[in-house]
Chain A
């Protein structure tokens, strides 16, 4: 295809310049080159790529600007180890790097000896038995060109008292990386917010009996953001990931969770709010490779104007992964006739003693309920806000911490109020 060559040329130039000039490029130069080659070979996603059918990427340039929408950081006043990245580099003066280093082991995005089992191993892993390996071009781009990030090892048995908050600011198209090893029995909460990352890439190992609560707010992304999160969940371990997305030109979140040990639990949830010409895509792949694991995918979208939301969710159950309990629900409320929700649920099951189910609904708000609320005096906007809050809450309830649940509710209702004020 001719235009692929043309489209990729500026990316090749940008990568070559980065590899030659940026001191960060010295880290893992081989894996960077390989990752870039995969990105280049794939090209920018078009409708012709199976997993990008609903989310074609047009007009993206390597040096494209990043825009931050007003609305503020929902995690700004959460007591946390805060790490602020500006234009793709950590701003030490605003970061609690020293305090975090005192509590757990912190390194650059790669290089620490313990990272050998993490960096690149999750992202580049073949999922055994899967029919095909899904290509993830922006995860490759991130690995090729990340300028900074963080590697964290939470030592066995450590329950980190405060969340780690990764804050992305600035105006350049930055690529940031998180590598994390949560050792047996340890637990940690990770927060992410801000528009200052074109791509983020994360590889997280949740060892036996460990737990990760992950919360991501994409409520300030004015332009585009592509994220990739790869996690393996060990025996008796738990992962809970929740993302709140609002009004970006294009957000694509890819989440790959491998249930690698028996009795593990993996939950991926998202709340999507869209107005105008916005597009949010949550693509989730949960691979069950051990017995007695439970997984949930809960995606709730509220869409107005021309907004679009996409959910592609797969539950893959490997041969022998008996007693798997896999569940997936995606629902959308359309507040305008032009809004659109595309759901692509996939189940691929090679074990015979499992429970897997999925459901998807799309519709307007319940008119009966709306009339009931209005008959009691609520304005139409208030009635809609109450019903939308109730609708999104099913996803928000996937967040373990009640205080953080509250913050997500506030952000949701602020969005509804802004909508009512328009």
Chain B
């Protein structure tokens, strides 16, 4: 069994940076790559620890765990956020982070709702839209 301590540490650090910094900036794709780097770092670190009787590989092991956890958080968070924004605005925002425009879209959507309806909650807006739809359907039946 070979010693991958350097490679696992490097992959773990790259995974953390991709998941957090690039995840916030560019969204779910770098977060997913960061998650993958974290998994690779963990596997290599475990192999190193087994080969060296737990004397080496701890850095890569710890960084790998952080990369996997942070990558999961930002991957799932960005995807969820991106899908909601689409529903609310019907626009072309995706889960592409600050640079991609998604993170601004939450504020844009909130501002759009407040401008149109004043100081009401999302639930009120939804209920209003549902009521208007029911009314429109009722008028169709009436016609």
Q: Do A and B come from one complex?
A: no
| A interface residues with partner B (beta carbon < 8 Å) | none
